[in-house]
Amino acid sequence: MISLWRFTRNRYTRAVYDALQAAGITATRMYEYQASVAHPDTVGSRPPPNDVTIEVVSASEVRARDIDLDFSIPVDVLDGELVVVASAEGSPIGRTVVNPGSTPYVHPLERSVPVPGAYIRRVFVLPEQRGQGVASTALRAAITHAQDEFDVKHVTALIAADNRPSQWLFESCGFKRSRVHEYVRAGPLSRYRIRAI
């Protein structure tokens, strides 16, 4: 049986979602995942292939070096954020963005959301490079650098309810679901709620 996420996570349903959002209609359900930074060496134990390098750069370095991190999903790197860049043969193949936290803006929820610790977002690896340990290694580096650079005890991620591949990645790296965020908007009317799981 084909998993439901394969029907909802493709360019056709994305186009429908974008069209509805442009018309003022949106609905989002996201799981909040948290992990402790106390033991990052136990997170994501699978090393990447030998030809993959992991580099952590600041937002200003990304701009100064003109590192292309958009792939098929554009990303804006904000001042103060760190980017974990996975590269093969000198070209980026993946990225993970680490925000210092507090109250980052979450586009699908159309609001700033208070989160404990640093906030990890926009984890992406090129499809042909997946399943080789690149994402888990980048995630481990993100956790380590969040602790070193931002002096936090926890890291948080918000993952769409239908994004099972990302959920599997974070769960395999020691993250636990803590809350669910639900948001619905139809024109000027909206409803947002957070509840514990």
Cβ atoms of 69 and 189 within 8 Å: the answer is: no
pTM: 0.86
Nearest in space to 100 (alpha carbons), one of 76, 114, 117, 84:
117
| Domains held by the chain: number | 1
What pLDDT was estimated at residue 2? 45
Q: Containing domain of residue 185, as a range?
A: 4-196
pLDDT of residue 176 exceeding 90: yes
β strands within the chain, DSSP E: 25-36, 52-58, 82-88, 91-99, 105-106, 111-112, 118-125, 154-160, 176-186, 189-196
Q: What is the pLDDT of residues 118-146, one digit of tens each?
A: 999 999 999 999 988 999 999 989 998 99
> How far is 148 from 94, CA to CA, in rounded Å?
22
Q: What is the rounded end-to-end Cα distance, in angstroms, of the chain?
A: 27
SS3 content of the chain, % helix, strand, coil (to 5): 30, 40, 30
**Band of the pLDDT at 6, cuts 50, 70, 90?**
low
> How far is 60 from 7, CA to CA, in rounded Å?
37
CATH number for position 90: 3.40.630.30
Mean pLDDT, the chain, rounded, equals 87
